[in-house]
Amino acid sequence: MSDNDIQLSKWQKFRKTVVWEYTQVGVVALILVFGFIRPFVVEAFKIPSGSMEDTLLIGDRILVCKFIYGITIPGTKIKVLDFHKPDRGDVFVFIPPHDRERNFIKRIVAVAGDTIETRGNTLYVNGEAVDDKHYAKHVTFSHFRRGDFPPFRQPEYLPDTEDFFDYTLTSSQFRRKFPEGKPFTIPKGTVFAMGDNRDQSSDSRSWGPVDVSDIKGQAFMVYWSFDMRPTKIWEVWKLVQNVRFNRIGKLIHAQP
């Protein structure tokens, strides 16, 4: 074996060692970023329904800030860095009380201690009408039972606690018992969620308030948007047309 062969063999061995070490460092970095940091910082979600139209559209892909409401220490209910409490107007992602396998996205319209009711298309919080006409919409047809709130649309989903006793009555029973109405008071540790597409949204009017511990984060930006209308795969030009370029980078604003 010549000296050149020996030198080449050493170089190849050195190169393999360096490549392997860098690969290990890269893998560890990816694990840290996507396995440790990601669950606490930002997560991407896809919008599957029209319950938040026209704020969010089917096919929007959004980014959610997961630390904005604080970070829960694993295995405890202790939160740190919670410098921003869930507030009225925030668009947020959460696990709903009636379906623990899915993530929902809605808007917070009331927080603990607030009283809430609707009369027709008008939302009242603490007795005052909310000016939401620039982001909330109403439609003539609704696949949900329409009517003023309270009572709840689906009382079978409500917790069996004193806070909800009066709201498990049927609509007619509720009106007989409270002819002047009775606003619902949001229990401690919860928020009240409603979709911006008010008549096409399964939300807290159906299954009750959202526990603060079930909140995953606040939505802040649309990073990609694609119209989900069926298109033949070979019609490439239509696929390009389906990209909503005007929505990419759109900020998702809270509405105080």
Q: Residues with catalytic annotation?
A: 51, 106
Name every residue whose Cβ is closer than 8 Å to that of residue 105 and which is 6 or more positions away in sequence: 45, 47, 51, 52, 56, 62, 91, 92, 93, 94, 219
Measured over the CA atoms of residue 90, residue 91, residue 95 and residue 98, the dihedral's sign is positive
The CA distance from 93 to 64, in Å, is 8
Backbone angles phi, psi at 129, to 5 degrees: -70, 135
CB atoms within 10 A of CB 165: 10
HEC string for 162-185: HHHHHHHCCHHHHHHHCCCCCCEE
**In this structure, are residues 66 and 43 in contact, taking their beta carbons and an 8 Å threshold?**
yes
Rg for the chain, CA atoms, rounded: 25
**In this structure, are residues 64 and 45 in contact, taking their beta carbons and an 8 Å threshold?**
yes
The CA distance from 167 to 153, in Å, is 9
